[in-house]
Amino acid sequence: MAKIASIKENYLFSRLYAKGKRQAAKNVVVYVLPNFKTAETKLGITVSKKLGGAVQRTRARRLIREAFRLLSVEQAFAKPYLIVVVARSSLFRKDRKMGEVKADMAYCFSKLGVLAEKEV
């Protein structure tokens, strides 16, 4: 299993918020910007402290990370991107399943056009 490259630098988050394309869904908001510096797609996850305690925030990050991993295994990205996923308050419900988060992220990625076309 390949490790997901993560965004750690604050200036990259700021650049994505300012210049990136965004798409909102029920559970997440996705910001996307092409990555010209490296040849890999990088993921950043933000979860506000206002939404829950440490356990809930960690669970939200795990759900987002696993949904991203499954989507990247199923379908490749068209080119390298910087992606920031922001958790919304509906993600913090106890009955929220990973499949719902994956569906929301797939919807956002398809609307933003970051996934490569499937070959038939």
> Domain range for residue 15?
10-112
Tokens of 40: 């890999």
pLDDT digits (tens, 9 = 90+) for 10-31: 999 999 999 999 999 999 999 9
pTM comes to 0.90
Domain total of the chain: 1
Per-residue CA distances from 14 to 8, 46, 53, 86 (Å): 11, 12, 25, 13
Rounded to the nearest 10 degrees, the angle between the axes of helix 54-74 and helix 98-112 is 60
CATH number at residue 56: 3.30.230.10
Q: Is residue 40 part of a domain?
A: yes
Q: Is residue 37 part of a domain?
A: yes
pLDDT digits (tens, 9 = 90+) for 68-114: 999 988 888 888 999 999 999 998 888 888 899 999 999 999 999 88
Q: Is residue 64 part of a domain?
A: yes
